[in-house]
Each structure stands twice: as structure tokens, then as C-alpha cells.
Amino acid sequence: MIKINMYLMLCGIIGLVVSFGCSDDDGENRNKTALVAPTLNNATDISANSFTVTWEAVDGANGYLIDVATDQRFGQMVEPYNSWRQNAISLKVENLDPSTDYYVRVRAMMGMEVSGNSNVISLTTLEEVDTEPEEPLKSAATTFSVGVALSADRISSGSHAKLYEREFNQVTAEWEMKMNITYPRPGEFDFSKADKIVDYAIANDMGIHGHALIWHNAVPSWVESFSGTNEEFEAMIKDYITTVVTRYKGKVKSWDVVNEAFEDNSGELRNSVFRRKMGDDYIAKCHQWVRDADPEVKIFYNDYSMTFDKKKQQSTFNMADDFKSRGVPLDGLGFQMHISYNWPNTNDIEAAVQKVIDRGLLLHFSELDVRVNPDNGISSLTPQRAIEQQKKVEEVVRIYNAIPQANKFALTVWGLKDDESWILYFWDNPDWPLLFNADFSPKEAHTGFLQGLKD
């Protein structure tokens, strides 16, 4: 009997050892998984044929299983994303159909163990982008010129010239017709770059918009530190304006005579060297000298923030009204339109445009670019942000295309392709503000321009 008891006790001890020995450190039952399910983030970079999904790493996991389906019950799985195994905590899901609903879930793995399913996220892929070669902008815009800012160097490059000539019928010198370039030293003009641009435009039957005779940001140092009297300064500026406008008379059909004369937010006249030495009425004097040199040329005043800086806007319209009452030449206003994909709002743009129309002036959307990364929230041009930029360009073009013919002049984009935009070095963060990619291929924004022209 004792032997049996001893045997039973020994089994019990072994049983205890076996059961303790098999339990986890914390006494948990081994059959229950130690792995928690991942937490899925919303999909990003959604395009017509792909999206990216990410999730938080799970402690202890050394792999993940991803399911993608076209139904919430995961009955129609999308191959190969049926228990797709990987280690990374993000996945770009590709080769999808446009305009289609997709559902995603993920499980964590640790060796043979698999967690439960994550939360399910859903998304709809974007509509298919037309891949046909698009109509050139200048062909589609039948009631106004489509301009582009360019430089003498860039017109020498085949790829640039090919697109300039295909898409645009007007040009603006981005910097090479400004005073700091054309009048670098006292009495010494340098028209080499300006002539190259003007000759190129004429050879390719493109209009030329002159930009900009007087701008506080493009003043040669010798002018900024002019040592003569104010009367001598004014005579020098009159001679400069007369020389340049006369040189391009009959070629340059319009000029931004004075650029950005009013302060931001206050609408006060900037205290530029021109104002200091020629007085508050310097703009009128410059306009008159241009008119005296060329009776036909269109005279524009050009500025930025014109659709939302109400003080600057009011100062500009007060000046336009004053010029009209005094017979000072002014044919049009340039709204530069350096905007963002989400701002300014449509109503502000339309209200400002209407004030130009009410005054019977020409309107030039003179320097359009559309920042897609004003908050530095993206590190590449995501498909969603490209579509939002497309919609903003479409909106701006639609507004411009709808103005009366009597007020139409041109819509100019401030550069050809993203990597050449001034915005990249003016702001610290990456951006893609123009109509063409760095590789010269058209973006959705180019499509948006064409869509804005359709009734």
C-alpha cells in the first residue's frame, strides 16, 4: 500500500512539475497567445491603382500577415494580398482597380503564433487619370494667352524649348528683364539676356510680357546707393525707362511697370528708394514715361496677395481709381497668384477679380504657382495632394476663363517644372508647385488647367 501511495505522490509531484514547468513565467496558459493584434492606420498615398498601409509594431512580433479584400467580410481577397507575409510595418498595395473600395486587416506573428485580426480600414482608390497626351494649354485657351516665366538659359535647352513652344503663347522673363540685370552699372545697360528672350519669343510667335521695370527687390546696388540729387535720380530713372521701353517697342506688348509697391497687410506705400527719391507719386511718373515711350504698350501694375490682403488690395484699387481720375495711364492689374492647394478660397478670388472687372481694367493672373506643401507635412507629392492641386488649378483657371473678354489678357504660370520653382529656395520645405514634373512630364495640375477651360 505504501508503495502505491509513494507512486501516487511521485506522479502528483511530477504532474505539478510538468504543469508549472509548462506555464509561462507569469503563470499564463501557454495556449493563450502573447501577441496582441496590430493597430492599423488609415491608408495614405491613395492613387487610382495603389495605396499605402501602415500599422504600429507589436511587441515580440517578427512578422505580419496582411489581408486585402474588396468586401468587408474578406470573402473576395485581392491576390497576392491574402495572408501576405512580411516583416515591415508598412506595405504599398499595388496593381489595384481605380474607383474601387478596398478593406485591409493585419495579424502579427511570432514564430508559429498568430495574433487576432487588427481593426479593419477601408478606402476607395482614385478615379483613373487619363493617360492620353493632353492638349497643349495654348490650344485649349482660345480667349486669352497662356504664359510661362522662363530664362535665357532654359530656352537654350531642347526639353524646355520643346514644352515652351508646345504649351505656351506668351512669355515673361523670370528675372532677366529686371533693372538689376539690364542696368548693372551707371550708364551701362546689358540687354544680352533680355534680347535673347525677346528674339526667342518673336521667332516662336509668342507674346512677351515685360517684367518688371521698377521693383524694390531688383534694384542695382549703384541705384540703391545713388549719390546724386533727387532730381538727378528721377532723371536717371526716366532715362532708364525710356531706353528699355523704346528698345522693345512693338515687341514687348505689355509691361509690369512697377511691381509690389504696397506693404503687406497695411497697404502703405513701401519706402523704396524710388519713393524716397521721387516722392509718393513715383508710380504715376513711371507709368507716364512708359506711355510717352510707347503709345501702344499695355501698362500693368503687378502685386501678390491681391485676392486676400484686403489692405493691399484696397490701396491698389484706390490707386487705380486715382489714376483714372487724373488720366495717369494704367491698362491692367497683375494678380501674381502665388497660392496654395487649399487657399485662398474661391469667394475671395472671385470678389477681387470682380473689382478689376468693375473698373474696366485688364486682368493678368501673372505668376501662378500652387504650393502643395505649405505646412511641410509631406516629403513627396502624394497622389491625393496632386489631385488637390489639380482641383485648385482648375478653380483658378475656371474663374479667369469666366471673366468678360474685355478684361482678359493672360494667365501666366511662374515656371515650367517643379524643381525649378523659386518656391523651393524661398521656403525651407520641399514643394511641387507647377504644372510639370521635374522630368518634363505633365502633372494632374496640367489636367486641371485644361478642365478649368471647359464650360
Could you tell me how many residues of this chain bind ligand G3I (CB under 6 A)? 11
369 binds ligand G3I (CB under 6 A): no
CB of residue 298 vs ligand G3I: minimum separation in angstroms? Answer: 18
Q: Has 367 been annotated as catalytic? A: yes
Q: Which of 336, 340, 412, 447 binds ligand G3I (CB under 6 A)?
A: 336
Cα–Cα dist 341/109, whole Å:
42
Interface region with ligand G3I, contact rule CB under 6 A, candidates 111-119, 212-220, 310-318, 340-348: 212-220
CB of residue 397 vs ligand G3I: minimum separation in angstroms? Answer: 20
367 binds ligand G3I (CB under 6 A): yes
Of the residues 167, 174, 176, 260, only one is catalytic, namely 260
Cis peptide before 48 (omega within 30 of 0): no
CB of residue 289 vs ligand G3I: minimum separation in angstroms? Answer: 21
443 binds ligand G3I (CB under 6 A): no
307 binds ligand G3I (CB under 6 A): no
CA-based nearest residue to 317, from 287, 352, 347:
352
What are residue 149's DSSP bridge partners?
172
H-helix or E-strand spanning residue 314: helix 310-326
174 binds ligand G3I (CB under 6 A): yes
Which of 291, 338 has the CB closer to ligand G3I?
A: 338
Neighbours of 286 (CB within 10 A): 26
What is the separation of C-alpha 101 from the centre of its chain, rounded to a whole number of angstroms?
29
Which of 61, 149 has the CB closer to ligand G3I?
A: 149
412 binds ligand G3I (CB under 6 A): no
What are residue 219's DSSP bridge partners?
none
Of the residues 367, 394, 420, 444, only one is catalytic, namely 367
Which of 196, 398 has the CB closer to ligand G3I?
A: 196
Q: Find out whether 50 and 43 touch, Cβ atoms under 8 Å.
A: no
Q: Which of 123, 194, 218, 397 binds ligand G3I (CB under 6 A)?
A: 218
178 binds ligand G3I (CB under 6 A): yes
Cα–Cα dist 284/279, whole Å:
10
Cα–Cα dist 361/320, whole Å:
9
Cα–Cα dist 189/405, whole Å:
38
Which of 86, 265 has the CB closer to ligand G3I?
A: 265
Phi, psi of 255 (to 5 degrees): -135, 140
CB of residue 220 vs ligand G3I: minimum separation in angstroms? Answer: 12
188, burial (CB in 10 Å: exposed 0-12, middle 13-18, buried 19+): exposed
Interface region with ligand G3I, contact rule CB under 6 A, candidates 95-103, 211-219, 233-241, 377-385: 211-219
CA-based nearest residue to 218, from 272, 155, 167:
272
Q: What is the DSSP letter of 407?
A: G
176 binds ligand G3I (CB under 6 A): no
CA-based nearest residue to 403, from 367, 341, 352, 369:
352
- Type of residue at 114: V
340 binds ligand G3I (CB under 6 A): no
Which of 74, 175 has the CB closer to ligand G3I?
A: 175
What are residue 185's DSSP bridge partners?
188
Helix 383-401 with 346-358: angle, nearest 10 deg: 20
Residues 244-263 within binding reach of ligand G3I (CB under 6 A): 259
CB of residue 194 vs ligand G3I: minimum separation in angstroms? Answer: 13
Q: Catalytic site residues?
A: 260, 367
**Interface residue list for ligand G3I (CB under 6 A):** 174-175, 178, 212, 217-218, 259, 304, 336, 367, 422
